[in-house]
Amino acid sequence: MARSAGTARSATAATGVKRSKKRPAAAPRRQHFTHFDAAGQAHMVDVAGKGVTKRVARAGGRISMLADTLALIRGGGARKGDVLGVARIAAIQAAKRTSELIPLCHPVPLTRVAVAFEFDVRGSAVLIEVTAETLDRTGVEMEALTAVATGLLVIYDMCKAVDRGMRIDGVRLLEKSGGKSGHFLAK
């Protein structure tokens, strides 16, 4: 329970013991969100002082569905055509337009975007993995993540006529390299 300043003075006068004004040791420096300035206002991070390096990010996710829906995708029998071909193009386009969708992202000149799909027959799902690369002052995590989410949403859109119960999950950064923060590999 906190005491008022008057109570603290009375306790000192009564006991003759003077309390130290020395502050406790400072806590370790806390991390902060870089997209807020000192006044708490949102801003685009200044990357002018950073060096240009090769930056790579790899992200992944999955969409679970009925076994019959997965069979249609695998066999190319979906009425709207090549589901994964359209999802691949959409993912690449989303990576290129990330700064238009995520307000504080820098426009990044991508040097490569690769999209790979894998079928999880036992889990009745399609897995997507996107690798984005650049030579720039800032990373491409958001580009890879945006591409993954968009690719999965396109699969949903193209297959919803036969399976509205599909579930998108597990969208996450798998790995990143380059820049000051170094290498990250998800566990």
Active-site position among 82, 136, 157, 163: 157
Look at strands 110-120 and 53-64 and give their pairing: unpaired
Fill in the DSSP letter of residue 77.
-
**Which strand ranges, in their side-by-side order, compose the sheet holding 110-120?**
110-120, 125-136, 53-64, 167-177, 184-185
Asked about 157 being catalytic, the answer comes back as yes
Q: Taking a C-beta distance cutoff of 8 angstroms, is the pair 95, 158 a contact?
A: no
| Pair 32, 116: CB distance under 8 Å | no
H-helix or E-strand spanning residue 48: none
Residues belonging to the active site: 157
